[in-house]
Structure 1
Amino acid sequence: MSSPPLRLAILEADTPQPQTRDRYGGYTGVFTALLGAAAQSLSPPQKLDELVSIKGYDVVNKLHSYPALDDIDAVLITGSRHTAFDSDPWIINLVNFTKLAIDSGRVKVVGVCFGHQIIGRAVGAPLGKSDKGWEVAVTDVALTAKGKEIFGLDKLRIHQMHRDILFDFPADSIPLGSNDICAVQGMYRPGSYITIQGHPEFNAEIMSEILFNRHTVGIFTDEVYEDGMKRTPIPHDGVAIARAFLKFMREG
């Protein structure tokens, strides 16, 4: 007899750009598409809804939009244009909820980009703005031995969209990867949390839209924009990362 689907809450810390929103809805839709591709890539292929039931929560605009911990098995915190070390009420709420989930010892926590940084903040890691500027589009990440084991890869290629970073790994975490731009690219605590600084859920279309819109309003210089657009079509390992997330969330 198969086990019931894992109950996953996706905490939406931002709204996608307009074209992406039209295609997927919120970030719950973007991550559902990614996790669905990961389920299809399993051997044998599986249907996502037989593995995971997903519900999204807007934690930016609805301050009390959180599930009861007893009603979920895992949480995924999305990326965001916001800053994980700010003191906005919704960010403080999110950090506190993340601490409760980690402290529960039962609810698994997954963090992506901003979510990776929120988990770092919740467990006491230092974070702030990088002096190396933006990391955008597909970049290479060198994996640790544990990173290679978890992702099933020798090295990682992943979309990036960040300027904020964790300055160091939390004391209780196992490092998963790093590169010259950002030393803390992913971390893991068995049975507790797994994070990645990059964006496994992004594809070339999503990345191109963000680069174009941020360049148009002057957030990105011509140089950052043109360099990012060159690397946007490079194949990346988003599905392999999502497979690792599924395995982590469903482990006993």
Structure 2
Amino acid sequence: MRPPLRIAVLECDTPLPNADSRYNGYGGVFTALLKSSVKTLDQPDRLDSETDLQISRWDIMNGTEYPKLEDVDAVLLSGSRYNSYEDVPWINRLVDFTQSVLAQDRVRLLGICFGHQIVARALGTKVGPSDQGWEISVCDVDLTAEGKELFGRDKLRIQQMHQDIVFECPPDVTLLGSSPCCAVQGMYSPRRFITVQGHPEFNEEIEDEIIKFLTKEGVFSEIQAQEALSRVGYEHDGVSIGATFLKFLTEE
């Protein structure tokens, strides 16, 4: 019997009420994505969605406990409403932990949106607000040659929800793609990490709830919100990106 793939999801935020009720935290959101991605792979000799994924959840925003690296095979850093560049205790601890993952060569790392930025910060690269403003809803990402090879397609469509960016790709790291609003849409280091600025784990319902909440809070204008909502149901490559993550985590 093969051992399970042990993935620690570091929950860097809590979903809004409807999504939280449905999925029980971002650990649940990513569990849904990864199980769907296993089915898309359709390689039962390699991974089974029910028996071969062992996903643990870590509320690192409200707690100080992190997984022991000897107990996991991969660490996934979730998105967050908070700023990856802030000098606050829980974010500083997360950066330190991420550096400890990057310093070894067995446990692999996935970074999503805020998590993508945390990986960049841990590597010493500048992160902060974009002068292009928000990138929201389903958007196109132009892939580099390496990005096309990794994801197996010429372009990505992915749900977005960010105004902060990674300003440049760190040295000795492969750039995966870019968009007009964001020059670094993904980063890759073989057998070490993959990151994406977008949200492969978001579906139409999750994104719709966030857009409407932030509009009510005055973050988005009505015009901005309506334009984003007109694209929120577009087909996107979230599950395919999840499958790429799983291939990366299981490759020798």
Q: Same fold (TM over 0.5)?
A: yes
Distance in 1 separating the partners of 2:103 and 2:43? 34
Distance in 1 separating the partners of 2:207 and 2:169? 27
Q: Which residue of 1 aligns with 2:241?
A: 241
1:154 is displaced (CA, Å) by 1.0
Q: Which residue of 2 aligns with 1:32?
A: 31
1:100 is displaced (CA, Å) by 0.1
Q: Give the share of equivalent positions with the same residue, in percent.
A: 50
Q: Which residue of 2 aligns with 1:48?
A: 49
**1:229-251 C-alpha deviation (Å, 9 max, x unpaired):** 01101100001100011111112
Amino acid at match of 1:25: N
Amino acid at match of 1:54: I
Q: Which residue of 2 aligns with 1:8?
A: 7
**1:26-65 C-alpha deviation (Å, 9 max, x unpaired):** 0000000000100011134553233321000000000x22
- Structural mapping, 1:134-145, within 5 Å: 134-145=134-145
Amino acid at match of 2:33: L
Distance in 2 separating the partners of 1:47 and 1:67? 24
C-alpha RMSD over aligned residues = 1.0
1:86 is displaced (CA, Å) by 0.2
Residue ranges of structure 1 left out of the alignment (5+ in a row): none
Distance in 1 separating the partners of 2:43 and 2:105? 31
Amino acid at match of 1:105: D
Amino acid at match of 2:60: V
| Secondary structure of the structure 1 residue equivalent to 2:100 | helix
C-alpha contact 1:4 1:50 (8 A) present in aligned 2: no
**1:176-200 C-alpha deviation (Å, 9 max, x unpaired):** 0001110000010001110000000
| Secondary structure of the structure 1 residue equivalent to 2:117 | helix
Amino acid at match of 1:28: G
How many pairs does the alignment contain? 250
TM-score, structure 1 normalization: 0.97
**1:51-98 C-alpha deviation (Å, 9 max, x unpaired):** 321000000000x22011111110000000000000110000000000
| Secondary structure of the structure 1 residue equivalent to 2:171 | coil
- Structural mapping, 1:1-252, within 5 Å: 2-44=1-43, 46-62=47-63, 64-252=64-252
**1:127-148 C-alpha deviation (Å, 9 max, x unpaired):** 1100010000000000111111
Distance in 1 separating the partners of 2:65 and 2:161? 26
| Secondary structure of the structure 2 residue equivalent to 1:220 | coil
Distance in 2 separating the partners of 1:108 and 1:44? 21
TM-score, structure 2 normalization: 0.97
Distance in 1 separating the partners of 2:207 and 2:13? 15
| Secondary structure of the structure 1 residue equivalent to 2:209 | helix
Residue ranges of structure 2 left out of the alignment (5+ in a row): none
